Amino acid sequence: MHYLQHNEKFPPISEADEQGLLAIGGDLSIPRLIYAYNHGIFPWYDDSQPVLWWSPDPRMVLFPEKLKVSKSMKKLFKKEAFKVTFDTDFERVIEACAEIRREGQHGTWITPEIIKSYRELHEFNLARSVEVWQDDKLVGGLYGIYLKEQQVFCGESMFARVSNASKYGFITLVNQLKDEGVKLIDCQVYTKHLESLGAEEISRARFLKYLEIPLED
């Protein structure tokens, strides 16, 4: 396992272990995060651990044209059950994502350090948010990293305070990104929820081709 010093570069992606763990340590500086996302690497750890950097194989992704929308969700869209906005309240969205307790997860990986760094990424228009409203209340949302040059969006986290709110926001985002020419949405790791929306697993090598990064980079 590779332990990063403060300014040390990442090892080759091919050195990630079977679970996809590539390196431990380093920092969450803006240059490191930008490099990481552009090379198919992301941080994921809880507040009791050092920074853990991942590049899993296979990779869960959604091709926008393969988005699945259930009949029940189509009814919600027909009723315009929610209002969706983009980048109007990034801070509240990421803080709400941090508050959500997820099954099998100890604590939250969205630490104060993560919030600080991603707030800066948002100021650089790299981290983007989706807000879902009902009766002028923020009831759901998600955020992620938009690699516009590569036409890839990297989803990070979502939350919902009422049923279907985050799903409504996600579907709206996917359709928006499709219109903008995005080729791929990175969902990182497998979940049944993402699979139900049309996401699928592809090899890391295939995923990196969308970032135009060779495996040994």
Every domain of the chain and the residues it spans: 2-54, 59-210
In the sheet with 52-54, reading across from the earlier edge strand, the strands are 2-4, 21-25, 52-54, 42-43
CA–CA distance, 111 with 173 (Å, rounded to integer): 25
Calpha distance 217→41 (Å, rounded): 12
**In terms of CATH architecture, what is 2-54?**
2-Layer Sandwich (3.30)
pLDDT at position 103, please? Answer: 55
pLDDT of 107 reads: 47
Q: Characterize the bridge pairing of strands 2-4 and 21-25.
A: parallel
Low-confidence ranges of the chain (pLDDT < 50): 104-107, 217
Say if 2-54 and 59-210 have the same CATH topology.
no
Q: What is the pLDDT of residue 7?
A: 82
Q: What is the pLDDT of residue 216?
A: 54
Residue for token pair 């099998």: 104
Report whether 143 contacts 128 (CB < 8 A). Answer: yes
pLDDT at 197: 97
CA dist., res. 132 & res. 107, Å (int): 25
pLDDT value, residue 100 = 80
Q: Which fold has domain 59-210?
A: Aminopeptidase (3.40.630)
Quote the pTM value.
Answer: 0.93
**What residue type is 163 in one-letter code?**
S
